A = this chain, B = another copy of it.
Amino acid sequence: MKKTAFTTSETAWCPGCGNYSILETLTGVLNQMETPPHQVVLVGGIGQAAKANQYISANGFSGLHGRSLPAAVAIKIANDDLTVIVNTGDGDSYGEGGNHFLHNIRRNVDITHFVHDNQIYGLTKGQPSPTSDPCDLSHKINACNMGATFNPLLIAIAVGATFVARSFSGDKEHLAEIMQAAIKHPGYALVDILQPCVSFNKKNTFAYYKQRVKPLDPTYDATNKLAAMEKAMEFGDTIPIGILYQEQALTYKEKRPELFDAVPLIDKLVNLEDVQALIHRYI
């Protein structure tokens, strides 16, 4: 069934940007899947990360800043045959898009959400994002958080996400593995990907992450919610990467068997006689 390969095109990113590895890894992962490009929809908001969706040969939905999730879930609801993958930034996902993050986790629609987390607003040139490191009050740098830093994994678990993982753009093998698992996961899957921004984030650099990331122990039990939350709170000298939490739960579609079956919504027939019958009920 597979017709053509997924290919990438020229980007507008800075040389050295962590986004390149993510793009490359994702393309590799897609090429290993059965699904042909025209059955894949890449969705994003606005930002450097979100541009990724412009650079892979698949269907592409480049929406509004912060608003990728509602669009993505609706695409999946409308046509369950499509594989829907969101690539977008930390500002987009957790800042402007915070409310959709909360409530689309709760919906558990079968989509995958890759957050290119550079802990900064890249496209707008270096403001703090919700995930920026806390300010050292004695020695303030530009893009740090005066408030509490947003912990996406902990929050996702707390909200009820059924697949919560972290990876690092600098470890392509790990990233590929997690991406595959996330796409395979039935329901909403979040992967927060540490991604160095060479132009604006002078603190959380490639070397910084490289030194700190530490794959989860093979014995780690990803089904224990409380332990997962504890693990998610680790973010400092070591940063755990891997699938922190996973559970099997009914997806959006599975909870609504009256409407969703083997025939995707888009292919269901509109029956005008049913409509006319409903009209007649108002006589």
Contacts and interface: CB of A to CB of B under 8 A. Distances in A.
Contacts of A264: none
Given A108-B148, A148-B249, 13 more contacts: A96-B99, A98-B103, A102-B130, A103-B130, A106-B145, A106-B148, A106-B149, A147-B160, A148-B160, A151-B158, A151-B159, A158-B158, A226-B233
Interface residues of A, number: 38
Nearest to A107: B147
Interface in A72-103: 94-99, 102-103
Given A98-B99, A226-B230, A150 B159 contact: yes
A3 interface: no
Contacts of A147: 103, 106-108, 160, 252
Closest 3 CB pairs of A and B: A148-B160, A106-B147, A98-B99
A255 interface: yes
Interface of A: 94-99, 102-103, 105-108, 130, 135, 137, 145-151, 154-155, 157-160, 225-226, 229-230, 233, 249-250, 252, 255-256
A147 B100 CA distance: 13
Given A146-B255, A229-B158, A252-B147, A98 B102 contact: yes
Contacts of A149: 106, 160
Contacts of A103: 95, 98, 130, 147
21 contacts: A94-B102, A97-B99, A98-B98, A98-B102, A102-B155, A103-B147, A106-B148, A106-B149, A107-B147, A135-B255, A146-B252, A147-B160, A148-B159, A148-B249, A149-B160, A151-B160, A155-B158, A157-B158, A158-B158, A158-B229, A229-B229
A28 to B, nearest CB: 33
B150 A154 contact: no
Contacts of A230: 226
